């Protein structure tokens, strides 16, 4: 057993979830990243390429000169670029969440000792279900948002826990979705508050990585203004901006690791409130040691 083992199966306050999330990253970050390189690096690179291509296509399509003539050329290409970016985001999201949650599952089973091959194999076995669940939960949240913003927000909370339920309970896709609503019953507000605070923390960190692209755009804008030339917004999107923006996007995608770990802590906190499985396991282990 790892002497620095962090117990997942226990009740936590909001602050404890955030603190333990970063404590887990400090202790296991290097090992977890080494496994993510095996499972997620190809989708990650393809996602960055798709994002860069979408940014480039968007600048071409919404060129002010073409718009002034009433022309919207290459809209089909823009749509393809958008679909490709979202498809790669889904695949990367599934690979990352699957890896992180299987890592935590193996971490719990080994009391802090993680077998890399077991994690990788677990991701391979569940990858199809993870992608299917990602599509279904995304559609549920999307259509809830279309109906009204508040149903979308409400549905986002249980849908944020479906991957944890799928992996930690070895559930089916349908059971993961139905169980997520049972899990947040009477606990929606505290779960929302925790996800909201985690989101703010991630947003603050991501803002640091967006500074170079913002500074470059602002510098270009000032230079154009000082020269007295008309500022073409799409002209600001050159290869330097695309590169800086891609780096910023890369950082934001990597920060999904924090989201995945925090949702695991949220899941176990709610599961403990509802079922007290961790407490029962501790009682059983004490009885077996006598």
User: Quick check: 9 pLDDT over 80?
Assistant: yes
According to the model, what pLDDT value does residue 109 have? 93
278 backbone dihedrals φ, ψ, rounded to 5°: -65, -45
Q: Where are the domains of the chain?
A: 14-289
Residue 249 binned pLDDT confidence (cut-offs 50, 70, 90): confident
Average pLDDT over residues 273-285: 66
pLDDT at 67 over 90: no
Checking if the pLDDT of 60 tops 80, the result is no
Q: What percent of the chain has pLDDT over 70?
A: 84
- Under 8 Å between Cβ of 17 and 261: no
Query: How confident is residue 21, by pLDDT bands cut at 50, 70 and 90?
Result: very high
95 contact partners, CB below 8 Å, separation of at least 6: 39, 40, 43, 123, 127
Looking at residue 226, what is its pLDDT?
64
pLDDT at 74: 66
Range 265-276 average pLDDT: 90
State the chain's mean pLDDT as an integer. 85
What span, in angstroms and rounded, lies between the C-alpha atoms of 268 and 170?
14
Residue 105 pLDDT grade (very low, low, confident, very high; cuts 50, 70, 90): very high
**Res. 228: pLDDT tops 60:** no
Start-to-end CA distance of the chain, whole Å, equals: 20
Task: Please tell me the least confidently modeled range out of 60-69, 71-80, 264-273.
Answer: 60-69
Most confident range (mean pLDDT) of 115-124, 202-211, 228-237 is: 115-124
DSSP 113-161: ---HHHHHHHHHHHHHHHHHHHHHHHHHHHHHHHH-HHHHHHHHHHHTT
Q: In the structure, what pLDDT confidence band is assigned to residue 87 with cuts at 50, 70 and 90?
A: very high
What confidence category does residue 170 fall into, taking pLDDT thresholds of 50, 70 and 90? very high
Give the span between the Cα atoms of 231 and 235, in whole angstroms. 8
What pLDDT score does 29 carry? 93
Can you give 77-92 as a three-state secondary structure string? HHHHHHHHHHHHHHHH
Name the least confident of 43-52, 135-144, 193-202, 279-288: 279-288
């Amino acid at each position: 057993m790892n002497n620095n083992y962090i117990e997942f199966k226990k009740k936590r306050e909001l602050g404890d979830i955030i603190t333990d999330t970063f404590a887990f990253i400090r202790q296991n970050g290097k090992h977890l990243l080494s496994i993510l390189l095996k499972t997620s690096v190809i989708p990650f690179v393809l996602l960055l390429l798709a994002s860069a291509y979408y940014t480039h296509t968007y600048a071409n399509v919404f060129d002010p000169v073409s718009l002034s003539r009433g022309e919207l050329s290459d809209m089909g290409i823009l749509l393809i670029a958008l679909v490709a970016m979202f498809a790669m985001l889904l695949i990367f999201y599934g690979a990352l969440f699957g890896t992180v949650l299987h890592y935590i599952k193996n971490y719990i089973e080994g009391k802090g000792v993680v077998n890399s091959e077991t994690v990788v194999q677990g991701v391979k076995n569940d990858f199809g279900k993870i992608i299917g669940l990602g599509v279904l939960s995304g559609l549920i949240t999307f259509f809830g948002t279309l109906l009204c913003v508040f149903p979308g927000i409400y549905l986002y909370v249980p849908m944020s826990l479906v991957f944890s339920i799928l992996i930690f309970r070895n559930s089916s896709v349908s059971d993961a979705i139905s169980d997520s609503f049972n899990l947040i019953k009477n606990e929606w507000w505290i779960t929302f508050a925790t996800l909201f605070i985690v989101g703010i923390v991630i947003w603050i960190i991501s803002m640091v990585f967006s500074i170079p692209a913002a500074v470059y755009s602002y510098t270009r804008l000032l230079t154009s203004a000082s020269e007295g030339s008309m500022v073409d917004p799409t002209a600001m999107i050159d290869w330097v901006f695309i590169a800086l923006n891609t780096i910023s996007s890369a950082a934001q995608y990597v920060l999904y690791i924090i989201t995945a770990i925090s949702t695991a802590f949220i899941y176990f906190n709610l599961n403990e409130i509802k079922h007290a499985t961790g407490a029962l396991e501790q009682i059983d282990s004490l009885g077996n040691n006598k």
